[in-house]
Amino acid sequence: MSHHQDDIEIIDRLSQKDKKALYLLYDKYSGALYGVILRMCRNQVLAEDLLQETFVKIWQKIDTYDASKGKFYTWAYRIAKNVTLNSLRKPDLLIQNEELRVDTTKTILEPEPDFTELNGAISRLEPHHQEAISLVYFRGYTHREAYEEMGVPLGTFKSFIRQALQLLRESYKHELLIIWLLLETF
């Protein structure tokens, strides 16, 4: 958990208003958070603004982060999700951004990249498992909204989530085992 320990030191510096600490966290986590934000809002211009906004909030609210209650990434993910969902609830802003984007940057020859595509362990799951996780984690749906979206009963949806998470767990354990074996071998 030295990885986690590094974060604690950086976060400590961040709560003392060290901007360099924020940029270190940005370098480490901006990709993961941008992946979430972009899949949630599906608008590159807006996602860029929201990523910046997320880190401004991290800078402002770092004092409310409690390392004993969870990992920094979990906390930052919640901020990113909130920032994005709040922005999507303001339709005016979104429409403006859409118009701006269509007018200035996109042409018919350049199709929108498919941000919904998933990589890694989740991409190897069954489609319904993939979709269930994707909806709650990458699309910002609540469980209640997600099961309606999928058109399955809530109980079924919950079991999809549980199964998917178990499969992910096994997949990552397996990866860890391989890494451990490789380390042992060399």
Partner 1 sequence: MMDRKKILEEGLLEKYILDELSAAESQQLSSIIANDEGLKKQFEALEEDFEKMAFENAIAPPGHIKIRLQKRLGESKVIPMPKSWRYAAASLTILFVLSAFWMFNRWQNSKNDFEILQEQTISLQERLNALEEDYLLTNRRLKTINGPKTIPLILDGNNLAPNSRAVAYVNHDRRIVMVNAQGLPELPDHSTYQMWSDVDGEMIDMGLLPTDEELITLKYIDKAESLNITIEPAGGNDHPTVEKLIAYVTL
Does the footprint of partner 1 cover residue 83 (CB under 8 A)?
no
Point out which span in 86-94, 102-110, 112-120, 178-186 binds partner 1 (CB under 8 A): 112-120
Report the residue from 62, 84, 133, 147 that binds partner 1 according to the rule CB under 8 A.
Answer: 133
Q: Closest by alpha carbon to 77, among 1, 128, 136?
A: 136
Contact region with partner 1 (CB under 8 A), list: 6-14, 94-102, 103-111, 117-125: 117-125
Give the C-alpha separation, 54 to 81, whole Å. 9
22 part of the interface to partner 1, by CB under 8 A: yes
In whole angstroms, the minimum distance from the beta carbon of 152 to partner 1 comes to 15
Query: x/- string (CB under 8 A) for partner 1, residues 155-174?
Result: ---x--xx--x--xx--x--
For residue 120, state whether it binds partner 1 (rule: CB under 8 A): yes
**Contact yes or no for 22/58 (Cβ under 8 A):** yes
- Nearest Cα neighbor of 67 from 6, 110, 8 is 8
**Site size for partner 1 (CB under 8 A):** 49
21-29, 89-97, 100-108, 177-185 -> range binding partner 1 (CB under 8 A): 21-29
Q: Is residue 106 within the footprint of partner 1 (CB under 8 A)?
A: no
Catalog residues that contact partner 1 under the rule CB under 8 A.
19, 22-23, 26, 30-36, 38-39, 47-48, 51-52, 55-56, 59, 68-71, 73-74, 77-78, 81-82, 115, 118-122, 133, 136-138, 142-143, 158, 161-162, 165, 168-169, 172
